[in-house]
């Protein structure tokens, strides 16, 4: 096809073989099912309860048996042709002669849940019905094995276990609705079982000899109710597995797929054991990141007494077979640490294993976590007795820590003197120290940076011994003078202006087009982009800096749209669980497993395949930018959007996100990596200030973005709604220009999140190139006329937008 033909003319041209559509195709749905099975994590399996033996008689308990949650809500939702729940998956296995089901129970749940759906409930936000006594007795007479399914739903715009302090904050209608609904269903907070769910568990464990639990959830939940319960022999974290998640769970339960997923978060004994819980809801206006770099396993494996609070450690996951992991060689080579590891399947089933390499650094003057993940790799499917040697590599510079107080050298990455030891295994707790030691004889600077995005009101931060050090505080940040701030009510939900074309002669248009320089001239080398931009009026340049009207099946608006200059209107679409097209368009797409599940595969190659497949659906529907991946850190189990993010660990998040971006952009579709940065809370997300140290910002919350920028070269990055140390992320020049572009060398375009509370011209000055979904050209023009912004600053952002468009087909 010609350049930008899909964007200009919206042709109905399938991308599949033999003229078939790839959107929602059987091949993509099969890939979704495969990925779901790869990422499910077997947490518990006593007495070989799983996989279910051939011909097992099974009773399916819990509304989650039919009330299946394929993924979270908001931008992560997807319109699909069907969703397969666990009951439907198990019925397929029954048809294959592998299991016998007691069908009365699922039929009971279907009737009860359909009633709740009819009253307006959505999957996962339903109440657990009580099973009639006579139905329980018939189930008990039929089967001695019971499977309990627990499901949870969360979505964009609200947090789990919501609460609001008395600060005068007025809830949006959706926030209020979701908070009240969640509180009424989950009286203990949805991290824990409801009273009705606990009663169900008690009933089932009292009546069945073998009990299996399936968790259809998007992230961290309470595990204390089953870890030490002998009546529950097996637990499968099935996550939110996309449209085929129920069948994928059945694949694992029956042994058609050997589980190889590993946890990407730490599962503690209680919600209060996470250091972030204490101040998560302290204020709606700010969050103090006082745990600093000690997030997730960095906290639990380092801080005295914290290890005892862990139920399941980071990286943990069982298999139906066993593996022998043997480090065979380790050395420094070309500025990298290389460790070779032999993995042998010593069990009796084919399976895959994940090898994880951790570093233990000397505490030095800066203080370090006890262990940090530095590399990982998944084996191929190993037959019993088969061995594979894996090569794990990472740069020595990644061992350095950021010094934000000048204890060694201010604003520099420091590789402190001492011995660096390494651990190899299949989870952080059981990883074994290897013989190899890397010794740094003298402390050295690996990179000198500048003090950027400095905190002003963060009072303290945690140290490696669990105590706190005080941090300097001041009255900053000081805002540069400019136009009075817009009323925030004028920034919420406005649509881009649809410009009418005046009556004009067709022949004049043809003649004008033959003489008018356009973007295609730049693409084909006849003029430079700078030459084209110099011909544009300030009004045209400013119009480029805002979102444009939808075309075709798009519903999240476009970028570009200057026909006079041959600039196409590039449509965007939400992610990350699939191409999101509104139901009224009549297009069903593929729902992929949630991001947490994909990360649990520990398989970047598989994630890259999903990125390419998803991008082909985006392209086939004449859309150019997919607003995914989302790579914010799982700082707290309470964040309502964790299902959309990968992990508590920035390396896993970064490697997973980079793989997704490579896959997407292999189709010449732009990925938009979000939300940059510290978008770890949904309550009052547009005005909440994330107060975080420079060190934690760089080592934890920005690291995944840095990995993606340097390994995958994303077309776009999306700035977040929240403030970072007192400055809107979308107006944060330190973040968007100082770190992202000047330090990391990012060469793409930055977009705001949709309808931020940032001032458009201030965003432009900071290096935020386009305001979505709607720009405010009149405000930018006023700022230009009053000297608050220059043409050069406007041209710089416009040029990046056009450079992004030039990268597309």
Instruction: Write the pLDDT tens digit of every residue in 78-126.
Output: 999 999 999 999 999 999 999 999 999 999 999 999 999 999 888 999 9
Give the pLDDT mean for 419-440: 98
Min mean pLDDT across 50-59, 199-208, 415-424, 489-498 is at: 489-498
Nearest CA among 616, 572, 574, 552 for reference residue 12: 552
Is the predicted pLDDT of residue 288 greater than 70, yes or no? yes
Neighbouring-strand partners of residue 45: 234
Distance CA 434, CA 442 (A): 23
Average confidence score pLDDT of the chain: 95
Contact (CB, 8 A) for 570 and 559? yes
- Name the packing angle between helices 26-39 and 604-620 (round to 10°): 150
Chain-centroid distance of CA 272 in Å reads 24
Min mean pLDDT across 151-155, 447-451, 481-485, 628-632 is at: 151-155
Q: What does the pLDDT look like over 668-679, one tens digit per residue?
A: 999 999 999 999
Per-residue confidence (pLDDT) for residue 507, from 0 to 100:
81
| End-to-end Cα separation, the chain, in angstroms | 8
- The residues, ordered by sequence, that sit 6+ positions from 563 with a Cβ below 8 Å of its Cβ are none
Per-residue confidence (pLDDT) for residue 515, from 0 to 100:
80
For 745, counting Cβ atoms within 10 Å of its Cβ (0-12 exposed, 13-18 middle, 19+ buried), the class is exposed
Per-residue confidence (pLDDT) for residue 544, from 0 to 100:
98
Give the pLDDT mean for 614-631: 98
Q: Note every long-range contact of 22-27, with CB atoms under 8 Å and residues 24 or more positions apart, other chains counting.
A: 22/613, 22/616, 22/617, 22/620, 23/579, 23/587, 23/588, 23/589, 23/590, 23/617, 23/620, 23/621, 24/80, 24/81, 24/587, 24/588, 24/589, 24/590, 24/617, 25/590, 27/613
Give the pLDDT mean for 276-280: 91
Is the predicted pLDDT of residue 169 greater than 70, yes or no? no
Task: Supply the residues annotated as catalytic.
Answer: 753
How does residue 167 score in pLDDT terms, banded at 50, 70 and 90? low
Q: What does the pLDDT look like over 731-765, one tens digit per residue?
A: 999 999 999 999 999 999 999 999 999 999 999 99
Nearest CA among 161, 89, 78, 90 for reference residue 123: 78
Examine residue 229 and say whether the peptide bond preceding it is cis (omega within 30 degrees of 0).
Answer: no
Contact (CB, 8 A) for 651 and 668? no
Give the pLDDT mean for 670-693: 95
- Name the packing angle between helices 703-712 and 650-665 (round to 10°): 30
Is the predicted pLDDT of residue 180 greater than 90, yes or no? no
pTM for the whole structure: 0.97
Give the pLDDT mean for 786-790: 98
Is the predicted pLDDT of residue 165 greater than 60, yes or no? no
How does residue 159 score in pLDDT terms, banded at 50, 70 and 90? confident
Helices assigned H by DSSP within 119-185: 133-142, 173-185
DSSP 737: I
For 137, counting Cβ atoms within 10 Å of its Cβ (0-12 exposed, 13-18 middle, 19+ buried), the class is exposed
Q: What does the pLDDT look like over 126-142, one tens digit per residue?
A: 999 999 999 999 999 99
Per-residue confidence (pLDDT) for residue 170, from 0 to 100:
65
Contact (CB, 8 A) for 527 and 515? no
Give the pLDDT mean for 400-426: 98
Give the pLDDT mean for 773-778: 96
Per-residue confidence (pLDDT) for residue 172, from 0 to 100:
66
Is the predicted pLDDT of residue 229 greater than 80, yes or no? yes
Q: How many CB atoms lie within 10 A of CB 2?
A: 9
Buried b (16+ CB within 10 A) or exposed e, 590-613: bbbbbbbbbbbbbbbebbbbbbbb
SS3 of 632, please? coil
Q: Which two tokens stand for residue 382?
A: 């190993």
Give the pLDDT mean for 487-508: 87
- The residues, ordered by sequence, that sit 6+ positions from 56 with a Cβ below 8 Å of its Cβ are 99, 100, 143, 145
High-pLDDT (> 70) share of the chain, %: 97
Contact (CB, 8 A) for 542 and 780? yes
Nearest CA among 778, 801, 759, 806 for reference residue 538: 778
Per-residue confidence (pLDDT) for residue 281, from 0 to 100:
86
Distance CA 676, CA 132 (A): 50
Q: What does the pLDDT look like over 502-558, one tens digit per residue?
A: 888 888 777 766 688 999 999 999 999 999 999 999 999 999 999 999 999 999 999
Distance CA 699, CA 678 (A): 12
Is the predicted pLDDT of residue 478 greater than 90, yes or no? yes
Per-residue confidence (pLDDT) for residue 161, from 0 to 100:
62
Per-residue confidence (pLDDT) for residue 510, from 0 to 100:
74
Chain-centroid distance of CA 709 in Å reads 16
Nearest CA among 771, 754, 671 for reference residue 715: 671
Distance CA 368, CA 370 (A): 6
Neighbouring-strand partners of residue 441: none
Give the pLDDT mean for 642-664: 97
Q: How many CB atoms lie within 10 A of CB 667?
A: 20
Q: Which two tokens stand for residue 78?
A: 């997807």
Residue whose token pair is 């997973």: 656
Residue whose token pair is 């190659």: 605
């Amino acid at each position: 096809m010609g350049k930008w033909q899909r964007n200009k003319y919206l042709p109905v041209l399938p991308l599949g073989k033999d003229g078939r559509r790839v959107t929602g195709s059987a091949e993509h749905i099969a890939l979704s099912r495969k990925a779901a099975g790869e990422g499910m994590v077997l947490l518990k399996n006593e007495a070989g309860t799983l996989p279910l033996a051939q011909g097992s008689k099974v009773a399916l308990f819990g509304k989650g048996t039919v009330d299946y949650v394929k993924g979270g809500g908001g931008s992560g939702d997807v319109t699909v042709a069907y969703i397969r729940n666990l009951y439907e998956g198990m019925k397929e296995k029954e048809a294959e002669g592998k299991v016998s089901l007691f069908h009365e129970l699922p039929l009971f749940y279907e009737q009860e849940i359909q009633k709740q759906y009819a009253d307006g409930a959505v999957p996962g936000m339903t109440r657990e019905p009580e099973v009639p006594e006579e139905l329980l007795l018939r189930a008990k007479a039929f089967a001695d094995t019971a499977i309990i399914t627990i499901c949870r739903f969360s979505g964009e715009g609200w947090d789990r276990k919501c609460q609001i302090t008395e600060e005068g904050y007025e809830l949006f209608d959706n926030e209020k609705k979701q908070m009240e609904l969640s509180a009424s269903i989950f009286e203990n907070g949805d991290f824990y079982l409801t009273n009705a769910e606990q009663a169900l568990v008690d009933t089932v464990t009292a009546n069945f000899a073998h009990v299996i639990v399936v968790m259809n959830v998007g992230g961290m939940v309470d595990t204390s109710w089953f870890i030490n319960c002998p009546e529950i022999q097996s637990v499968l974290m099935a996550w939110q597995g996309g449209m085929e998640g129920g069948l994928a769970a059945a694949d694992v339960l029956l042994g058609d797929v050997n589980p190889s997923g590993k946890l990407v978060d730490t599962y503690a004994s209680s919600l209060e054991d996470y250091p972030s819980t204490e101040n998560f809801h302290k204020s709606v206006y700010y969050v103090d990141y006082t745990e600093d770099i000690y997030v997730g396993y960095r906290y639990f494996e380092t801080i005295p007494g914290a290890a005892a609070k862990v139920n399941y450690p980071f990286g943990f996951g069982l298999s139906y077979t066993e593996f022998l992991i043997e480090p065979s060689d380790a050395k420094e080579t070309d500025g990298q640490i290389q460790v070779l590891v032999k993995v042998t399947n010593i069990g009796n089933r084919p399976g895959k294993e994940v090898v994880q390499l951790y570093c233990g650094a000397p505490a030095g003057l800066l203080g370090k976590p006890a262990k940090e993940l530095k590399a990982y790799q998944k084996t191929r499917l190993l037959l019993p007795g088969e061995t594979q040697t894996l090569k794990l590599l990472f740069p020595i510079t990644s061992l350095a820590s950021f010094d934000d107080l000048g204890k060694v050298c201010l604003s520099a990455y420091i590789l402190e003197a001492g011995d660096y030891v390494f651990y190899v295994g299949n989870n952080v707790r059981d990883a074994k120290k290897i013989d190899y030691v890397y010794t740094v004889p003298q402390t050295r600077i690996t990179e000198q940076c500048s003090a950027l995005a400095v905190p002003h009101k963060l009072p303290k931060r945690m140290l490696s011994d669990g105590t706190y050090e005080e941090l300097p505080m001041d009255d900053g940040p000081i805002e540069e003078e400019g136009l009075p701030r817009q009323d925030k009510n004028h920034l919420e939900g406005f649509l881009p202006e649809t410009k009418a074309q005046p009556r004009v002669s067709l022949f004049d248009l043809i003649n004008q087009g033959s003489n008018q320089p356009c973007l295609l001239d730049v693409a084909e080398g006849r003029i430079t982009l700078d030459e084209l931009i110099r011909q544009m009026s300030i009004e045209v340049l400013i119009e480029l800096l805002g979102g444009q009207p939808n075309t075709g099946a798009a519903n999240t608006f476009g970028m570009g749209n200057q026909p006079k200059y041959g600039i196409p209107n590039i449509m965007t679409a939400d992610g990350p669980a699939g191409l999101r097209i509104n139901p009224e368009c009549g297009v069903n797409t593929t729902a992929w497993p949630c991001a947490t599940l994909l990360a649990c595969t520990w398989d970047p190659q598989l994630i890259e395949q999903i990125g390419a497949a998803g991008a082909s659906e985006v392209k086939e529907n004449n859309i150019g930018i997919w607003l995914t991946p989302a790579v914010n850190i799982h700082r707290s189990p309470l964040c309502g959007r964790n299902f959309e993010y990968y992990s508590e660990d920035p390396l896993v998040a970064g490697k997973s996100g980079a793989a997704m971006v490579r896959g997407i952009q292999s189709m010449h579709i732009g990925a938009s990596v979000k939300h940059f940065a510290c978008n770890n809370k949904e309550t009052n997300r547009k005005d909440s200030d994330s107060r975080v140290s420079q060190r934690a910002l760089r080592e934890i919350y920005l690291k995944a973005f840095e990995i993606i920028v340097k390994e995958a070269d994303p077309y776009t990055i999306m700035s977040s709604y929240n403030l970072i140390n007192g400055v809107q992320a979308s107006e944060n020049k330190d973040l968007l220009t100082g770190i992202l572009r000047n330090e990391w060398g990012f060469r793409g375009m930055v977009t705001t999140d949709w309808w931020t509370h940032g001032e458009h011209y201030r965003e432009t000055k900071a290096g935020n190139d386009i305001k979505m979904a709607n720009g405010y050209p009149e405000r930018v023009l006023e700022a230009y006329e009053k000297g608050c912004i220059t043409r050069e600053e406007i041209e710089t952002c416009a040029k990046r937008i056009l450079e992004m468009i030039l990268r597309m087909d």
